[in-house]
Amino acid sequence: YPTGVPPPVVEATEEQHEAGEAAGSAPSLLLRGWLSQPLPAAPALALQQGGLEAWTAEHAAGLRSAGSLDGWGGGSQLGPGERDWPDSLSVHSYRVYCLLGDGELSEGSVWEAMAFASIYKLDNLVAILDINRLGQSDPAPLQHQMDIYQKRCEAFGWHAIIVDGHSVEELCKAFGQAKHQPTAIIAKTFKGRGITGVEDKESWHGKPLPKNMAEQIIQEIYSQIQSKKKILATPPQEDAPSVDIANIRMPSLPSYKVGDKIATRKAYGQALAKLGHASDRIIALDGDTKNSTFSEIFKKEHPDRFIECYIAEQNMVSIAVGCATRNRTVPFCSTFAAFFTRAFDQIRMAAISESNINLCGSHCGVSIGEDGPSQMALEDLAMFRSVPTSTVFYPSDGVATEKAVELAANTKGICFIRTSRPENAIIYNNNEDFQVGQAKVVLKSKDDQVTVIGAGVTLHEALAAAELLKKEKINIRVLDPFTIKPLDRKLILDSARATKGRIVTVEDHYYEGGIGEAVSSAVVGEPGITVTHLAVNRVPRSGKPAELLKMFGIDKDAIAQAVRGLITKA
């Protein structure tokens, strides 16, 4: 805001409310609400010109999350609407309101959210469906068939009320109805109500009034004002107890033994359960994969802080955003990393909303084996690296995984932890220090000839390749990036210069957007440095993990061959 002071929260009653927005035309409504309150000087009101945004973001006062993404609002309102949590996490007296446009009711994520709300009986959640008949380019599918909207909402377990959306009396009466279930207020409205030549007409979406119509319409609006008395809302009362989510630390060091084997997906579940003992603000969400992601360990130890979201990944991410608002909880979502691609819209909106959520994706790469390509995450690093505010963790053993979970809980923005299915050896001591953006030199000597960078499964393949090459009197330096974003550029450059500028990257991911491209971007323009990139180059198939690593050229033999090729070329 040009003045440096955001507008105040707009409240309607003494009971504390939270606003959620999805309907695309809502920013002007919010602007009118803000204008009803004492505001600083007029420059703050430059809508869509650097001051106020055309579509709202979370930093706009009174909002919980960003608006304008059709289908986004419903799910993101579910987190604070949760009623079945224990007292420490409950929402206390406030109600949650979500404004939905009829056009976005074609979005499947809206109905994911509505199903979830009824399953958990979120009776403090109110959705206002603005049924104005018109979409952006055509009429909405059901137009003004209000009874069908009502039947659909009721079929999803909601108390549904049809009202005249232009009647303040009917709206107030509907808001006052209390049921032991979520409520949908289905408001029949008309775009441009009361404006000659505009009401209920198509082709006005996002268009300003032409000058030759403006004066007449302004006078029509003024003629409808019955009282010039300004009524200011009573400020809400905050009755939720204060909580602290800063500096959440593990209660003890990891307890692994070097050489023992554990899958990082299981280490994630153990670490999250352990962190849950350090703070009752840690919560876990899963999409019916808890026995694969091992979030079931958290559920067993902290059942009242686990939310089963079922196979509805878009909604799960939206719920996590809702849980993270108001800085009252630290949510961790888990599912197969491949399934997060379904929720990319919600993830990017979480970043726009400046949300702090943690996502753990398991079953990455061809190394999952027999389950086949539909379950193999091979695009996830590219996806999460592209998200602003993201931190991308790729731990390679149990110790690193536990540290990644702890760091994610204390890192702002969108944190992604990539975990693997195969069991691999513990390579770090329990007191090893890990930090965001700091890589590890896992293996080195004074006469290393090539730097090899791998993560997860491929880091262990790189160490195996080092053993093969050692028999040929070829030494390599092996780096574990730990975080792919941010990347430890300094250590990579130092290692490359110490190994005659030769780098080999190897990853269980497609070529595009993963470790290889991250490293290449980090060293671009640096003289004398070459990067050889090993990655999955086509859609994979089912098979045993070792067979697939070999088939796609990312196993120890492929790494050793790439190293030999660089040395021979010199």
Q: Specify whether the CB–CB gap between 441 and 478 falls below 8 A.
A: yes
- d(CA 26, CA 55) in angstroms, rounded, equals 8
Decide the pairing of beta strands 17-21 and 95-101. parallel
Sheet with strand 414-418: strands edge to edge: 306-308, 282-286, 330-336, 357-362, 414-418, 390-393, 483-485
Q: Who's near 235: CB < 8 A, 6+ residues apart?
A: 11
Task: Tell me which residue of 293, 337, 335 sits closest to 310, measured CA to CA.
Answer: 335
Residues paired with 506 in a beta bridge: 454, 534
The number of beta carbons lying within 10 Å of the beta carbon of residue 212 is: 7
Among residues 11, 112, 313, 406, the one annotated as catalytic is: 313
In degrees, to the nearest 5, what angle opens at C-alpha 517 toward C-alphas 514 and 522?
120
20: tokens are 């959620």
Q: Specify whether the CB–CB gap between 150 and 114 falls below 8 A.
A: no
- d(CA 49, CA 372) in angstroms, rounded, equals 49
Secondary element (H or E) of residue 390: strand 390-393
- d(CA 458, CA 534) in angstroms, rounded, equals 10
C-alpha distances in angstroms, 556 versus 83, 356, 420, 561?
A: 52, 38, 17, 9
Is residue 313 flagged as an active site residue?
Answer: yes
Residues paired with 164 in a beta bridge: 188
Active site residues: 313
